[in-house]
Amino acid sequence: MTSSASTPAYDDLCQRHRRKHRLQHLHAMASWDQAAFMPAGGAQSRAEALAEMEGLLHQLGTDPALKDLLARAEQEPLDEVQRASLREMTRVWRAANALPQSLVESRSLAVSHCEHAWRSQRPANDWAGYVENLRPVVRLVREEARLLSESSGLSRYDALLDQYEPGMRSADVDRVFGDLRQWLPGLIRQVMARQQGETVVQPQGPFPTQAQRALGLDAMKLLGFDFAAGRLDESTHPFCGGVPEDVRMTTRYREDSFLQSLTGTIHETGHGRYEQNLPRDWMGLPIAAARSMGLHESQSLSFEMQLASHPGFAGLIEPLVRRHLGDQEAFAAQNLHRMMTRVAPGYIRVDADEVTYPAHVILRYEIERPLMEGEIEVEDIPALWDAKMQELLGLDTRGNFKDGPMQDVHWGAGLFGYFPCYTLGAMYAAQWFATMRRERPSLDADIAKGELTPVFDWLKDRIWQQGSRYETPELVKRASGEALNTAHFRRHLESRYLG
């Protein structure tokens, strides 16, 4: 996108957004450090610094001059990419203008406080202490939802969902999740019955953290992560942060099990590669950002579920596991594949297999939506959690808050409306791989031979390099030839686990 004498208003907008992007870079690095390295004594001052920065970014995004610039840019002779860029600028401006700066800063302080305390409250199973910090976060996000709703005309929950998955509505999510609820429990039972006859050799630990870290770094290299523009560290909850030019990923380690850190690292590598390959020519503008969190999760789940759980991938990872963790019978490729595709209901979402995973997401969606609409309160969460875990996965979670409603960072971080994106992402990922197989019948054989470049090239061309040029339905159609089709996800699970 080049500037021109005929597009002065548009050029001014671009300059302002690039300045904001540079400040967001610093905010992203301070947030990453807060989660990965900051000593506990720095928590309060860091929370205040981040809130100050969010207030400054909000000021820039709501500058009164923007309204006139956006209107004038609309009348300028823009090309197709510039028009898409202006559409995204307008979307960002509308959302920012719905919220007062005082709310933005208060929310930032509340989530920093809640997240920091959660790190010690979760291992202590201290629900009562957590609730004291979660309550103000919920109150502030409800206020945010109310204001976004008034500005957009959407319901309160839909106004939050729209921030993570633009254009998606809870009616769409209800339809997709309603269908899942019909067939998923039966599929879980069928797969578990089928796997009963399989022998899985359990690896013998302990697995030293340093060895697991080295294994994770080798897996990232295998998956094409660019270490000149990113790094891997450790945090309480794995995440991918930073900026496209400098991606900061984290994972977590348990010395009695290496799979959690390995699959977690592979998952975050999918996010990282999407960020590293966003269109550089547009960098700093909203059009250069990842299109949605559902599409972002489609990249992490393309890596973790579609690739890493592929039978051919186990053969690629076997020599790496043996190199770093020693020579064991359990590390044979077929056994590794069985370990990575073992289906069993469990308490923890991030450790769940791909068949039971959607149940964890449905549970959270069915709690967070009424919570944001004001139909239930924070105090109601544990009983609802226990009932839905029993109904969806047959597990008793009563009194087990740390492996129940305290396990995720999301709610304490104010990320209400995010959870549906995980299962939408799994569905998009299944659709991407169905399209790849149709276009390249040798795909599965290629993966087994370690030829992963065709997968990465396809994702780079159809998803990564497109940024936010197209709205989600159009991007999905251009990438795969059809709208989101949930049948691909069901077919993928049935083919992998019952085929």
In 3D, which of 220, 272, 270 has the Cα closest to residue 245?
272
β-bridge partners, 234: 251
Q: At what angle do helices 8-36 and 101-121 cross, to 10 degrees?
A: 20
Residue 306, token pair as written in the block = 């579609």
Phi/psi of residue 53, nearest 5 degrees: -65, -40
Helix-then-strand count for the chain, H and E: 20, 3
Which of the 8 DSSP states describes residue 376?
S
Amino acid identity of residue 276, one-letter, is: Q
In 3D, which of 306, 316, 319 has the Cα closest to residue 426?
306
In this structure, are residues 10 and 86 in contact, taking their beta carbons and an 8 Å threshold?
A: yes
Dist. CA 256–CA 325, nearest whole Å = 12
Other C-beta atoms closer than 10 Å to the C-beta of 488 total 20
**N- to C-terminal Cα distance for the chain?**
48
DSSP secondary structure, 212-274, as one string: HHHHHHHHHHHTT--GGGEEEEE-SS--EEEETTEEEEEE--BTTBSHHHHHHHHHHHHHHHH
Dist. CA 29–CA 223, nearest whole Å = 24
In this structure, are residues 468 and 88 in contact, taking their beta carbons and an 8 Å threshold?
A: yes
Largest CA distance in the chain: 72
Q: Tokens 């609409």 sit at which residue?
A: 373
Dist. CA 240–CA 248, nearest whole Å = 6
Phi/psi of residue 120, nearest 5 degrees: -95, -25
Q: Is 268 a catalytic residue?
A: yes
Write down the catalytic residue from 268, 275, 354, 368.
Answer: 268
Sign of CA dihedral 290, 291, 293, 296: negative
In this structure, are residues 322 and 60 in contact, taking their beta carbons and an 8 Å threshold?
A: no
| Residue partners of 268: CB distance under 8 A and separation at least 6 | 232, 238, 239, 240, 249, 250, 251, 300
Annotated catalytic residues are 268
